[in-house]
Structure 1
């Protein structure tokens, strides 16, 4: 069944996890980007392994709720639809994974205090979700001159036919971006080969302000969440795409 809405309309639900009690500041571009969407703020209060979740909730719930409400209010001020959940957890990434499935979001974004975007990396895995990835890139960059790199990292032992296919996928996404208004000279494609594609991708991403990836790269996203402070936008697919 075909999805009934595009990636960026008032039905788009985005999950924004924030770590409590001291949430990272939100950059103005991020608040503006989310202003027209349905924003669910996931407040994650990280608890040490040796401390019970119940004990921490009893002690810190009121403070955590106040800080979470402050974050939610920031999005409400932009006109966004908002909702929130407060969770006391020993593992923030696991909590994000669970909430992502339960809430059934279209996008997930980790907050950033980066003042502005100077470059963007899109990690591309296949051609299943290209249109939604394209919509995300366009929404972020259409009113700027910021460059985007389209990246795919393959195993170094990949067959030549696989390498050719992935090169065509990157070229296809580049063409879609051009058709939707991005100048060709702002778009770079990189198809790399490595014994450890995930590690190579992580290292490559460290030079970028924002990383976009699709839901096929959930394991890689979790590694990025744990190992880097890079803002990540994960695009989830709902239904078939044209």
Structure 2
């Protein structure tokens, strides 16, 4: 069984837009290390240096205050400050830099009691189960495993997929009575997931390709995050495309010529 310390979640927060992390999320994720990413997406005509000079102190103060909230919940938390022209590209890079297994896209969460886990047929359910067990650790959250089959002929395969996912969760120590399963057929997967998410408080989606930005954020999870009222936890794939990751990195202002980020303060790193 994996340890909570084996996992890490990236939580991007646009503090200048007044975005914060609901206390319910803080409490639910207290058992897993968190990387807070205080970010600001800039228009093309605004330089990152200009934004840093104008907003840096304010963003740093806001994210430090938010760190304190996580620390008060006994959460292992670190933070980074980012000014960027492409937030999704930056989320991807920082997730890789910080070895984060998932990215939490925030939405309000006044109540956090039930989790909908959207499972596709091409994901590693054991990997998702390991991380999900870490998130569930110390909570009473109930889980619904959800799969959208393309037609009736695929329904049985969906049932078997969710049975495998359920077994993986139970093997990780999640009580079976906290796990439910639903397979729906036909319709748009995104619409079906949104309809099901309306009855839950947190949506979990797994990716099966290496690049968060290219596949997940610019695909279903991004649309789900925009259209659902729930926070969306995107669990990253186990493997990476090293070449693509190198190409996606924006050199931080404190990076050396070899592209390595330097430490600004303990737990805080600043990037463009």
For the aligned pair, the TM-score class normalised by the smaller chain equals 0.7 to 0.9
Contact 2:7 2:134 in 1 (8 A): no
Counterparts of 2:49 and 2:237, CA distance in 1: 35
Pick one of 185, 197, 206 that aligns with 1:205: 197
TM-score, normalisation: structure 1: 0.77
Secondary structure, aligned partner of 1:150: strand
Distance 1:23 1:10, change over 3 A: farther
Query: Deviation of residue 198 (structure 1)?
Result: 2.6
Task: State how many pairs are aligned.
Answer: 230
Query: Deviation of residue 67 (structure 1)?
Result: 0.8
Counterparts of 2:222 and 2:191, CA distance in 1: 12
Which residue of 2 is the match for residue 89 of structure 1? Answer: 84
Counterparts of 1:24 and 1:50, CA distance in 2: 24
Counterparts of 2:80 and 2:133, CA distance in 1: 30
RMSD: 3.0
Distance 1:24 1:199, change over 3 A: same
Which residue of 2 is the match for residue 15 of structure 1? Answer: 10
Distance 1:35 1:29, change over 3 A: same
Pick one of 186, 194, 203 that aligns with 2:186: 194
Moved more, 205-214 or 171-180: 171-180
TM-score, normalisation: structure 2: 0.70
Query: Deviation of residue 39 (structure 1)?
Result: 2.0
Which residue of 2 is the match for residue 27 of structure 1? Answer: 22
Which residue of 2 is the match for residue 227 of structure 1? Answer: 227
Q: How does 1:63-142 map to 2 (within 5 A)?
A: 63-126=58-121, 128-141=123-136
